[in-house]
Structure 1
Amino acid sequence: MSVEKINNLEHLIPLGESKKIVDHKIKRLTAPGENYGSLMLSVDVTVKTPTGNEEIHAVAKTVPPNEFIQEVFNTPVTFRNEIAFYKNIVPLLQQFQRQHGVKEIIDFVPKYYGSRVNLKGDEGEVDQDAVLLMENLKIANYTTLDRMQGFDLNVAKLIMKNLAQLHAVPLALKLEKPEIFEKEIKPYMMLWAPKEQQHNVMTKQLSDLVDDIEELKPFKERILNAFDQQMKPRETRETFATITHNDCWVNNFLFKLENGKPVKSIIVDYQVCSYGSPGRDIVFFLFSSVNDHVLKKHYDDLIKLYHQTFISVLEQLGCVTTPFTFEALEKEINYEARDSQFGHVAFMLFPIFAPSGEVQDITEFSPENMISHKVSDLHKQKLVFVVKEFIKRNWI
């Protein structure tokens, strides 16, 4: 399949007998550096109806045309899992909320249009004809923000509320209907970790970078030891265990702005969702994607906001909230920061601060060039900040 072609597009969108696709246009959606795990296409479809033509503006997520990237992201598994998230899990969580009379149900996920893992449908292996079709949020005036600047306080608050809901709703479902959670959600949760060869390449990149930053040289052993933690088996602590996004970096959030201020956020890219601690998403999001000055001044405020929202959602869904104290949440955050998230953040700073125009196209990614661009001063400053904050909090 051509990277800018979708076979049998008419079978992906359920239109009904009275409607028919009469035209469509497909083109690349994202520039190099904006997306790493899949190929993103914009799909504009003209549909003929009995009363005239309608336009559907969609985004197609397709299998990356690169075997190395498919291996990195375990595409045969993660692509199928992401389809299940949009097609089955989100409606299940929304219906659960409605059953409890909740009016403000999960609405930070793009609208799902259709999907397949191959031309045979949902059976068989994921191949190059696999497609996940969702609404094009840019048509609805959603936009990404500058990935190198880091989010301001208002944006960070929006996202912390959304993350609290993303974590709390499935947790409540697990507590009330454990058999449904086990059957309908758990099978599509997979904890992603880099393979040993990938980790070795990443370690070399980080080691070279630390050698180039005088301020970090005294901490090199601590930094590399903490980076290696991501390769160790992880314990799942059942009290807080829920759906975790695992890829909460700046480019996976889109925002609707009014008078230059964010009023709503959307979270995308659920391919590496797992079953585990919400602390993973909290630590990774805050230290990869929030402005340093905001984090220094408002870290505690953001954690408190998350916890207040988390408890409020659980209460709406009839849960006993006694086990989920603020102190218990802090322990979860501390555990995940020490256990898994330093390596996650340290690696992700490479794509976040990749200079525009220096990132390879996804079709050309290899172990050697995926993060081989020149390291900017902004990247170095951010790494110094992260290391110092993790040391200050006794996380590394």
Structure 2
Amino acid sequence: MQVEEKYQNFDTTKVVCTSKELPCSLQTSLEKIAQKEGYLKYKLLSRSISTEGGNYLASLYEVDIKGRTTTGEKETNIFIKHSIPEFNLADVSEIYCRELFFYNEVSKVFTSLEDEAKIPAEERYKSAKSYYESNSEAIILQNLSKDGFTTVFRMNVMPLKFAELSIQQLAKFHSLGLVMERKRPEFFEKKIKHLKQIIKFEEKNLEFCKKMFGTSVAILENETRKKLEEQYPELLDKYMKCLNGDGTKFKNLCHGDYRMNNILMKMKEGEITEVVPVDYQIILYGSPIIDFLYFIFGATDREFRKNHMDHLKDLYHNTMKNYLSYFDMDVNEIYPRKTFEDNFNECFDFGLLTLLFLGPFFFADENEVPDLSKDDLSKQSVSVDLKFKDRLQEVVEEMIENGRL
């Protein structure tokens, strides 16, 4: 990790980017942020961040603005996601537009709804502060790591407390979508319902899906591998339909990538006390149960699910019930428990599909992370951690026992 310092004064007429880490295109945005934050003289310290294979859509940076204002010394800590040149599974510009849309518009609607309902600060949905000088190349946010937030390593089984807090935030996110649909119907109709799945299932990307599927089943025993290979067309079709929300009886605003690595956590005296969801690059109008299942199966083992799945389902639905009551809305009229259970049962095998098509991403060795900017994705190979075999085998057994395979 390299750190570069650069000092600026506001009487400077020309800005020269000297950092080897930070792209020059971000210089103007950082200037505007410094001006808005009231700096008279300041320095920039920038450094690149390794995600250890946890992020495929951006180059990540931390920037500290340190300097003098009219009221004294000040420091502003910033986190930047800078777009990769190409991402063959989706349109890069659309990815960044969606995240900007969340921070610039959706989060503002969320806040206004919570203000109107007079929801206590500790009960509100949590998100990072955004600096609106962001453009189509970058997302510029408050650097929560400076406030003690971090992530759980992407290959670990998530701690129960982390799962509980994350499920509560997911329930509030989905609830706010329901509230928005009823209390901001024009906004919802024009801006939310058009948000389709952003992943492009074109011919070359279908070849990549097949490659990832092959990587996953190759680690399984012969009989199981053969069974899954025979069902590949049906499994792929169901995977795409689940992502698109096809056939679901209940649709809502969805996060789209609600996995452990996209949720920051804060600890105090060894206990997880707070979580903040991030990465809204593929928000969509779809089936909210997919967010739930994607989160659970992406970072748990069978023992965790056996011991805690029912508890987390109860927590999700009860959180929706309590949160919607602030808005004088009854969850039993909008999303009754039976509908939730029906959705869960309809889509349960998405847990397996998640690992078959995305498991190699979750469990890729740090030095073997696939380069998704390359043209021929079908030639990409991924070396996966040994943990993946046990996780996938457990899910396969679970699906067989539940009559899904």
Bin of the TM-score, shorter chain as denominator length: 0.7 to 0.9
AA in 2 matched with 1:304: D
Matched, 1:201 2:208: yes
**Counterpart in 2 of 1:308?**
318
Paired residue for 2:224, among 205, 216, 239? 216
Q: Deviations over 1:11-30 (max 9, x none)?
A: 54274495345221222122
**Counterpart in 1 of 2:340?**
329
| Offset of residue 369 of structure 1 | 6.5
Where structure 1 has 5 or more consecutive residues not aligned to the other structure, the ranges are 118-125
| Offset of residue 38 of structure 1 | 1.4
Q: TM-score, normalised by structure 2?
A: 0.84
| Offset of residue 287 of structure 1 | 0.5
| Offset of residue 310 of structure 1 | 1.1
Q: Mapping of 1:33-48 within 5 angstroms?
A: 33-48=53-68
Matched, 1:60 2:69: no
Paired residue for 1:9, among 29, 36, 41? 29
Q: Deviations over 1:87-119 (max 9, x none)?
A: 2111211210221121145342111122333xx
Give me the whole-angstrom Cα distance separating, in 1, the residues matched to 2:173 and 2:215.
37
Give me the whole-angstrom Cα distance separating, in 2, the residues matched to 1:388 and 1:302.
21
40-49 vs 274-283, which deviates more? Answer: 40-49
From the superposition, tell whether residues 25 and 132 of structure 1 become closer, same or farther in structure 2 (CA, over 3 Å). Answer: same
| Offset of residue 134 of structure 1 | 0.4
| Offset of residue 9 of structure 1 | 3.0
Matched, 1:377 2:386: yes
Instruction: Give RMSD over aligned pairs.
Output: 2.7
Matched, 1:256 2:263: no
**Counterpart in 1 of 2:170?**
163
SS state at 1:255 partner: strand
SS state at 2:145 partner: coil
SS state at 1:357 partner: helix
Give me the whole-angstrom Cα distance separating, in 2, the residues matched to 1:200 and 1:362.
13
SS state at 1:108 partner: coil
Paired residue for 1:72, among 81, 89, 97? 89
SS state at 2:55 partner: coil
Q: Deviations over 1:201-245 (max 9, x none)?
A: 22133235424421622531235522332334643656x422111
AA in 2 matched with 1:88: E
- Percent identity, please: 24
Give me the whole-angstrom Cα distance separating, in 2, the residues matched to 1:141 and 1:244.
27
From the superposition, tell whether residues 288 and 312 of structure 1 become closer, same or farther in structure 2 (CA, over 3 Å). Answer: same
From the superposition, tell whether residues 17 and 343 of structure 1 become closer, same or farther in structure 2 (CA, over 3 Å). Answer: closer
**Counterpart in 2 of 1:235?**
246
User: How many residue pairs are counted as aligned between the two chains?
Assistant: 378
AA in 2 matched with 1:30: S
From the superposition, tell whether residues 349 and 113 of structure 1 become closer, same or farther in structure 2 (CA, over 3 Å). Answer: same
Give me the whole-angstrom Cα distance separating, in 1, the residues matched to 2:374 and 2:52.
10
**Quick check: 1:61–1:133 contact (8 Å CA) kept in 2?**
yes
From the superposition, tell whether residues 110 and 89 of structure 1 become closer, same or farther in structure 2 (CA, over 3 Å). Answer: same
SS state at 2:361 partner: helix
Q: TM-score, normalised by structure 1?
A: 0.86
Give me the whole-angstrom Cα distance separating, in 2, the residues matched to 1:210 and 1:84.
37
